[in-house]
Structure 1
Amino acid sequence: MTISMKRLTRIILLGVLCVLFSDAWAQPSSTFHVVGFYTAKQDQAHISFVHEANKWFAAMAGKYNFTYDSTNNWDNLNEKYLSRYQVVVFLDTRPDSAAQRVAFQKYIEHGGGWIGFHFAGFALTPSAYPQNWDWYHNQFIGAGQYKGNTWRPTSAILKVEDKKHPVTQHLPATFKSSPSEWYSWEKDLTKNHDIKILLSIDPASFPLGTGPKQHEIWHSGYYPVVWTNTKYRMLYLNMGHNDIDYEHGTNKELSLTFGNAIQDQMIVDALLWLGKKK
């Protein structure tokens, strides 16, 4: 029995369509889109973290079915570009131009998600990063200016302050963080009713820091390290400063931020929480 050319063409076309549809079924479209902004030009500890973070976020995107892009062009912080993304990540700095700041505030106030690491919250007047953006530092993040830090970068025992939050729901009551330089702040976050502190430094961490400057070794006090502002879809994390061999001039990485299973899970849960539709 012979098959007509017309029928053969139909069979081939049907087979191609079956392959295409099965491929689409096996590879569902990404559930949300994330973009990381970075500068990575000053301080080897921050540069190290940025490169590490971009690799880690890309790997997690493949594992948890979202997309991850990164850019060091802060002019991309505009309405058209941001409309592609559900979550924006600041890896090491903040926008400085008026247009960039207006676009970011509009994005946030219209329900966009944000994660900021370590230096993304830094501001100090006078410095190269003065506190000249009240909405961002005082209202959005809520911490105001940088006040002080520990040195060297060390691990800390972190305490979960709210076990029910989506970011912390899979965390134990306390856990050991990756090494970081820990910040203290101008404003008392416990007095801000919009701020929900999720993690703080557990007293078991003290003394925290190794010096040699004594004021950079903390012996007591209350220090929030991860929090959210309940008026927005955001999360600030103090992590993001790798330990670097400055003393011997090698700039060798002495520690990493990612690779800590518990801490990594927290960041993944933050992404999944912020990536959901409003």
Structure 2
Amino acid sequence: MHVFLRRLTALLMMLFAYTATCSHAQESKPKFHVLAFYSETVEHDHVDFAHQAIEFFSKAAQRDHFEFATTTNWDDLTAANLANYQLVVWLDDFPHTTQQRTAFEQYMEHGGGWLGFHIAAYNDAGTRWPWFVRFLGGGVFYGNNWPPLPAMLTVDDRHHPVTHNLPQSFSAPANEWYIWRPSPRENKDVKVLVTLSPSNYPIGMKDVLRGGDVPVVWTNTHYRMLYVNMGHGNKIFTSDIQNRLMEDAMLWVGAGRER
């Protein structure tokens, strides 16, 4: 009887050790892989944001168990390279060559993920990238406030995974707020998650936004994508509330959750 109990105990201990090892291996495996693109030669305030974003998301990657890599080489936007990542992030710039744009289009059309900040969505008459305008929901850059200022934001949908940790409204750190024409909200496929509150108007000194619909965070539901207008200057990561939005945005797009 004692021999049987010793053998049973040894077997249970081995089973426990095996289970613990498997559990640890599962936890240590990255949930998804991110490649963040940025440039060092763009507007200084955008570079400041990119550097702070890299630090923020590198720490988030450790907390949330995803892999976060960065590059300043936009020629890394190739089909072969993007196949290694579930999420592409544009921090302070965007593709400038036909080859880069084509690779990104194919990546997104085949289920890739994209998270873009601030200047990443900039487009005007000289951009000549109609696919990207449709991808964003049809809006073209129309104007912005200047100088960067803090603003009150309204959360449109507090049940969405990107915004479920946010209050109904919150004060966002100083940023250059973009307005788009037409508003992406007019596109039936766009889901707006956060909006510039009308209580801010007029906002700006040199360049003033006096009114209108200004979506700040939205997704085109045809794609696994999210645009976040924050991204100008070195104050963006000074709000714990907004930081929660940033981290949840990365997790939602990266994990490919229900849109």
Question: Do both share a fold (TM > 0.5)?
Answer: yes
Counterpart in the other structure of 1:79: 79
1:174-209 deviations in whole A, cap 9, x for unaligned?
A: 011121001111222222111111111112222322
Instruction: Report the more deviating stretch, 66-75 or 162-171.
Output: 162-171
**1:135 alignment partner in structure 2:** 131
Please tell me whether residue 228 in structure 1 is matched to residue 219 in structure 2.
yes
**Aligned to 1:193, what secondary structure does the other structure show?**
coil
The whole-number CA distance in structure 1 between the counterparts of 2:214 and 2:201 is: 11
The answer to whether the Cα contact below 8 Å between 2:183 and 2:215 also exists between their aligned partners in 1 is no
Partner Cα distance (1:206, 1:190) in 2: 19
Q: What is the percentage of aligned positions where both structures have the same residue? A: 40
Aligned to 1:206: 201
2:150 touches 2:174 (CA, 8 Å); kept in 1? yes
Q: Which runs of 5+ in 2 are unaligned?
A: 1-13
How far apart are 1:221 and its partner, in Å? 2.1
Question: Partners in 2 of 1:219 and 1:24 — Cα distance?
Answer: 54
1:53-92 matches, cutoff 5 A: 53-92=53-92
Aligned with 2:209: secondary structure? coil
What CA distance in whole angstroms lies between the structure 1 residues aligned with 2:164 and 2:27? 29
Paired residues, number? 241
Change over 3 Å in CA distance of 1:143–1:241 after alignment to 2: farther
Instruction: Say whether the 8 Å CA contact 1:195–1:230 is kept in structure 2.
Output: yes
Contact 2:33 2:84 in 1 (8 A): yes
Q: Which runs of 5+ in 1 are unaligned?
A: 1-13, 243-254
- Corresponding residue for residue 230 of structure 2: 239
With 192-201 and 21-30 compared, the bigger mean Cα shift is at 21-30
Aligned twin of 1:173: 168
- SS across alignment from 2:84: coil
2:212 maps to 1:259? no
If each structure's strand is expressed as a fraction of its own residues, which one has the higher value? 2
For residue 193 of structure 1, what is the aligned residue in structure 2?
A: 188
TM-score by length of 2: 0.86
Is the contact between residue 138 and residue 187 of structure 2 (CA under 8 Å) also seen in structure 1?
no
Contact 1:131–1:145 (8 Å) recurs in 2: no
**Residue type of the alignment partner of 2:135:** F
Cα distance, 1:273 vs structure 2: 1.1
Query: Any conservation in 2 of the 1:195–1:227 contact (CA below 8 Å)?
Result: yes
Q: Distance in 2 between matches of 1:181 and 1:143?
A: 21
Rounded Cα–Cα distance in structure 1 between residues aligned with 2:93 and 2:26 = 39
More helix by share: 2
TM-score normalized by structure 1?
Answer: 0.81
Say if 1:228 and 1:234, in contact at 8 Å, map to a contact too.
yes
